[in-house]
A = this chain, B = another copy of it.
């Protein structure tokens, strides 16, 4: 159903653009569609058709359309047109989107575009570009309604209407004092229903939430989510109002942030997209693979210490992969749970200890279930497929079961403690934990399995053969 709806609009729009309607009629028809639907059609148009659309629609509408186009493509389309037109389209876009598009332009062209943009837009771009990518300020827009705190409802309404032509983010109004210090916020709803002569003071929420532009995104994204407001004000270090973070930006931020963690859990240094060149993708994957290779060699050299055990009892090496895989799986489960818990909540020491304790209990309980299962099934397998005696088979499968419980218990603990540790020393736990956990768990699994086999099977029961 989704595709049906989308496709319909898309082909309707294409038909309209490719038809012979006069510019006035064409504009009227296109204005009935949502900017995002128009944006989706852009890649399918020819250069001439795109120019036709951009000539017909008014600049505000084109700016809105460009906000829905990927920055790389948007830069390409802007290059197709007159630079003054391009600058005026940029002037009408949300400031954070403008900054993204400008990054795609070569340096000289960028400088020229900025110079041709209107004054307000140029100033806003400068403010946003001054923030680091990791700071929340780089995601703000200056599209918001700002009014003085000491007005009446009627005056405020007048001020709103005069700003509404340029700023379409009007459901929350922000109040500032005469030196632009943030004072509070109010719902437009409350203004609409207030008596015209009422002073604003009574309607303003003075302890409205805000963020500082220099706060790290990671530190404030949960807070922004929790407030579930359409826009949250962004202040500079002197508490002056710079702009707002809209809920649309929050959607993108959440999507990005989760996507990054997701990618990191899978051993990628950053998210990839389909159009990225091969070399870029390789670069994102190779660092982890190299680290894992080195760590894997470490594990191999530890396995090498047990070469003697294996040469006496080659059968036991068949089950090495089973124990290593299970330890790895348990470690990954604990890691994923811990990272999510760390993301959502600011934990007390007590809660952290509880988390570790809980993960260990889960790993142990699951380990016992799987250990008992392995003990029974693998014993039978060795008897019937490898033709060994029951005593020998169950001695071996006993070692496997025990090693499994031990390896899973320790993996659960390691999978929780390592990310907690990295969080503590302010290293991103999603990046650093994976390889370390895998390695420690492999080592634990190898040592417990071959260690147990060596002690029980060779030293105590003399089963070598």
Is A219 touching B321 in the complex (CB atoms < 8 A)? no
- Verify if A286 is at the interface (C-beta below 8 Å from B): yes
- Verify if A389 is at the interface (C-beta below 8 Å from B): no
- Verify if A25 is at the interface (C-beta below 8 Å from B): no
Minimum distance in angstroms from A272 CB to a CB of chain B: 5
Q: Give complex CA distance A332, B286 in Å.
A: 13
- Verify if A206 is at the interface (C-beta below 8 Å from B): yes
Is A1 touching B219 in the complex (CB atoms < 8 A)? yes
- Verify if A175 is at the interface (C-beta below 8 Å from B): no
Is A320 touching B318 in the complex (CB atoms < 8 A)? no
- Verify if A76 is at the interface (C-beta below 8 Å from B): no
- Verify if A160 is at the interface (C-beta below 8 Å from B): yes
Is B322 touching A320 in the complex (CB atoms < 8 A)? no
Interface size on A, residues (CB 8 A): 133
- Verify if A282 is at the interface (C-beta below 8 Å from B): yes
Q: Give complex CA distance A352, B263 in Å.
A: 20
Is A314 touching B307 in the complex (CB atoms < 8 A)? yes
Q: Which residues of A contact B (CB under 8 A)?
A: 1-3, 5-6, 9, 12, 31-34, 36-37, 40, 67-68, 160-161, 164-165, 168-171, 184, 187-189, 192-193, 205-212, 214-215, 219-220, 223, 225-230, 247-248, 250-251, 254-255, 258-259, 261-263, 265-268, 271-274, 278, 281-282, 285-286, 288-290, 292-293, 296-297, 299-301, 303-304, 307-308, 310-311, 314-315, 317-322, 324-326, 328-330, 332-333, 335-337, 340-341, 344-346, 351, 354-355, 358, 361-362, 365-366, 369-370, 373-374, 377-378, 381, 385-386, 438, 442, 446
A-B contact pairs, 18 of them (CB 8 A): A1-B214, A1-B219, A32-B205, A32-B206, A34-B229, A170-B171, A188-B188, A251-B251, A261-B262, A271-B340, A278-B358, A282-B362, A290-B370, A293-B374, A300-B319, A303-B319, A307-B315, A310-B314
